[in-house]
Amino acid sequence: MNNQTANPAPETLFSQEAVWQSWLDVEAALARAQANIGMIPAWAAADISANAFLDRIGTDALKASIEKTMAPVLSLTRLLVERSGKSGDYVHWGATTQNVMQTGNLLIMRKAHQQILGQLCRFFESLATLADEHADTPMAGRTNRRHALPITFGFKVAGWIEELCRAHERLAQIESRTFCLPFGGAVGAMHSYGKQGRALSSALAKELNLGELLVPSRVVNDLFVDYVLGISMLAMSIERIALELYTLMEEEIGEISEQLAKGVVGSSTMPHKVNPKRVVKIIANCTRLRALAAPAMEAGRPSHEADASANYLLTSVIDDACRLGWELTTSFANLLEKITVNKARMAKNLKLSGPAMASENLMMALAPHIGRNRAHDIIHHVIEDAPGDDITINLASHPEIAPHLSTERVTELLNVSNYTGDSEYIARDAARLSRATANAIANSSR
């Protein structure tokens, strides 16, 4: 029997009711695990599991009790005891409050994690399509926010794909560390369970589908911090991509736009305005999520065998980080499915720097004849001295270039649309990688 409730929406993920139910899920799983190793009677575990639901013990009664005791788990277990009759004698057998709270938090985190992975799957499917469709769509590559060399939009997307693959790999690696059972009694050494402590730890971990810890103490905050840092880095990568998209949406660039429904209004005072709607909120939420990395690390320094002050901070950070992570990845997946690529504008912007954008190509063709450094300086000075002229003619007629390269060859070398390096090849490989990653995520969640 599994008492875990269906996945809530992001805004209710860490609602008070959801948290209380997660504690009840832990109490039920504890009873079943204890029955499995003969620690408590099987009939007691069955009764406890049947009654470990918030609607059975009563939400209003629980709220009233907590106001009086200021001990939420104690209040919850008292009501579960009352509801379970004689079986109530075995509720919360040998456990301590933090065991239940921390394990319950972990169960909720895992729900959020599965949703985040689902959105990552959508990322990779959308990005694979973009990389394939625009593998050979030329555009200006930019370094230091200035035109550099021609690339393809598919190549740019390929960089996003590989970065997000690394983000996914981090989360996958963190799973085995974070989703482990932090249940060890009052100080982590399973005192109240006698010689059955290790057996109970294994049985409960199996019941909850969590990994085991050698030291299931109450100061394993680093496991939770690790996860917050992982999704903070995912937010960093999403933010980088979103910022690029936002920049490419600028009026002066106009290479990307959001697909917005008819009737969407950009400004209450400027009738002509149609502003980006999705990307701006994504950037703001990325900043909020990244900012949680620092307080998470503060909470990763509890003292001795338990430290309530660190735990209060950590609980708050986890609540915010998991909710934001789910919201952020969902909104980013929606954005990727709603962007429009303006190929004509990319082609127009590519021409702004003229043939000069392919000057490296000419330099490398000239280098075997006069040396790379000399070739660089000649081309640089020709472009610098007559920026408004047709540099193709000026370069082709230069006395140190003409003897080695014909006008036709110089013209060919300065064709910016043909000088995109391995952009197309990389884009197509990245599309395959993106689809493979999406499939791997989908298969792992089944």
Confidence of residue 389 (pLDDT cuts 50, 70, 90): low
H-helix segments, 52-193: 54-57, 59-69, 72-83, 97-133, 153-178
**What does the pLDDT average to over 369-376?**
96
Using alpha carbons, list the distances in angstroms from residue 76 to 126, 225, 279, 352, 371.
Answer: 45, 27, 43, 68, 80
**What does the pLDDT average to over 287-308?**
94
Alpha-carbon span 237 to 149, nearest angstrom = 23
Q: Judge whether residue 167 has pLDDT over 60.
A: yes
Would the CA dihedral through 12, 50, 175, 185 be positive or negative?
A: positive
Q: Is 406 exposed, middle or buried, given 0-12, 13-18 or 19+ CB atoms closer than 10 A?
A: exposed
The terminus-to-terminus CA distance of the chain in angstroms comes to: 19
Half-sphere exposure of 418 (CA within 13 A, CB side): 8
Alpha-carbon span 409 to 432, nearest angstrom = 36
DSSP assignment letter at 86? G
Single out the residue of 130, 211, 205 nearest to residue 435, CA to CA.
130
Would the CA dihedral through 189, 191, 193, 195 be positive or negative?
A: positive
Give backbone dihedrals phi and psi of 9, rounded to 5 degrees, phi first. -75, 160
- Residue 230, SS3 per DSSP: helix
Half-sphere exposure of 433 (CA within 13 A, CB side): 19
Confidence of residue 5 (pLDDT cuts 50, 70, 90): very low
pLDDT digits (tens, 9 = 90+) for 47-62: 999 999 999 999 999 9
Using alpha carbons, list the distances in angstroms from residue 112 to 149, 161, 249, 324, 417.
Answer: 41, 22, 31, 10, 45
Average pLDDT score over the chain: 93
pLDDT of the residue at 446 = 65
- Residue 257, SS3 per DSSP: strand
pTM: 0.91
Alpha-carbon span 248 to 255, nearest angstrom = 5
pLDDT of the residue at 4 = 43
pLDDT digits (tens, 9 = 90+) for 91-141: 999 999 999 999 999 999 999 999 999 999 999 999 999 999 999 999 999
Using alpha carbons, list the distances in angstroms from residue 67 to 15, 282, 425.
Answer: 17, 38, 64
pLDDT of the residue at 11 = 74
pLDDT digits (tens, 9 = 90+) for 398-412: 999 999 999 999 999
pLDDT of the residue at 45 = 98
Confidence of residue 264 (pLDDT cuts 50, 70, 90): confident
Confidence of residue 1 (pLDDT cuts 50, 70, 90): very low
Q: Is 262 exposed, middle or buried, given 0-12, 13-18 or 19+ CB atoms closer than 10 A?
A: exposed
Structural domains of the chain, ranges and CATH numbers in brackets: 10-93 (1.10.275.10), 99-182+212-341+425-444 (1.20.200.10), 353-414 (1.10.40)
pLDDT of the residue at 129 = 97
- Residue 258, SS3 per DSSP: strand
pLDDT of the residue at 360 = 95
Token pair, residue 95, equals 């456990």
The type of residue at 48 is I
pLDDT of the residue at 357 = 92
Using alpha carbons, list the distances in angstroms from residue 26 to 33, 41, 77, 223, 444.
Answer: 10, 18, 11, 19, 24
Strands (E), 337-444: 339-341
Single out the residue of 439, 431, 429 nearest to residue 122, CA to CA.
439
pLDDT of the residue at 275 = 77
**What does the pLDDT average to over 416-438?**
96
Q: Judge whether residue 156 has pLDDT over 70.
A: yes
pLDDT of the residue at 2 = 41
Q: Judge whether residue 195 has pLDDT over 60.
A: yes
Q: Find where tokens 């959508």 sit.
A: 122
pLDDT of the residue at 7 = 52
Token pair, residue 100, equals 């239940």
pLDDT digits (tens, 9 = 90+) for 239-254: 999 999 999 999 999 9
Half-sphere exposure of 437 (CA within 13 A, CB side): 28
Alpha-carbon span 371 to 373, nearest angstrom = 6
